[in-house]
Amino acid sequence: MIAVFDSGVGGLTVAKSLKIQYPALPLLYVGDTARYPWGNKSPAVIRKYCDQFVNYFQKKNINRIIIACNTASTFAGSYLRDHYRQVTFFDVIDPVMKTLTKQFQQRKISKVGIIGTRGTIASHVYQSKIKQLSSAIKIQSRACPLLVPLVEENFHDHPATSLILKHYLQHFTNIDHLILGCTHYPLLQAQIQELLGPKVKLLSSAREIAKQIKLNPNDFSPNRPDEYFFTDCSSHYHELTSRIMDQSIKVKQLPLSQINQC
pLDDT in tens, the chain (262 residues): 899 999 999 999 999 999 999 988 999 999 999 998 898 899 999 999 999 999 999 999 999 999 999 999 999 999 999 999 999 999 999 999 999 998 888 887 889 999 999 999 999 999 999 999 999 999 999 999 999 999 988 888 899 999 999 999 999 999 999 999 999 999 999 999 999 999 999 999 888 988 888 888 777 776 788 999 999 988 888 989 999 999 999 999 999 999 877 6
CA 132 vs CA 173, 192, 239: distances in Å: 22, 27, 42
Q: What is the C-alpha to C-alpha distance for residues 250 and 10, in angstroms, rounded to an integer?
A: 17
Residue 262, pLDDT score = 61
Q: What is the C-alpha to C-alpha distance for residues 38 and 24, in angstroms, rounded to an integer?
A: 30
Q: What is the C-alpha to C-alpha distance for residues 117 and 107, in angstroms, rounded to an integer?
A: 29
* 3-state class (DSSP) for residue 230: strand
Q: What is the C-alpha to C-alpha distance for residues 18 and 207, in angstroms, rounded to an integer?
A: 9
The model carries a pTM of: 0.90
Could you tell me which residues come within 8 angstroms of residue 194 by beta carbon, excluding any fewer than 6 positions away?
none
Q: What is the C-alpha to C-alpha distance for residues 258 and 52, in angstroms, rounded to an integer?
A: 9
| φ and ψ at residue 39, rounded to 5 degrees | -65, -20
Residue 16, pLDDT score = 94
User: Which domains are present in the chain?
Assistant: 2-91+209-260 (3.40.50.1860), 94-205 (3.40.50.1860)
Could you tell me which residues come within 8 angstroms of residue 5 by beta carbon, excluding any fewer than 6 positions away?
11, 29, 30, 31, 32, 50, 53, 57, 65, 66, 67, 68, 69, 72
Query: With 0-12 CB in 10 A as exposed, 13-18 as middle and 19+ as buried, what is 182?
Result: buried
What are the residues facing 181 on neighbouring strands? Answer: 116
H-run or E-run covering 3: strand 2-6
Query: Which residues are tagged catalytic?
Result: 69, 182
Q: What is the C-alpha to C-alpha distance for residues 51 and 132, in angstroms, rounded to an integer?
A: 30
Alpha helices in 25-91 (DSSP H): 43-59, 70-83
Rounded to 5 degrees, what angle do the CA atoms 81, 228, 150 make?
Answer: 90
Could you tell me which residues come within 8 angstroms of residue 142 by beta carbon, excluding any fewer than 6 positions away?
113, 114, 115, 121, 168, 169, 171, 172
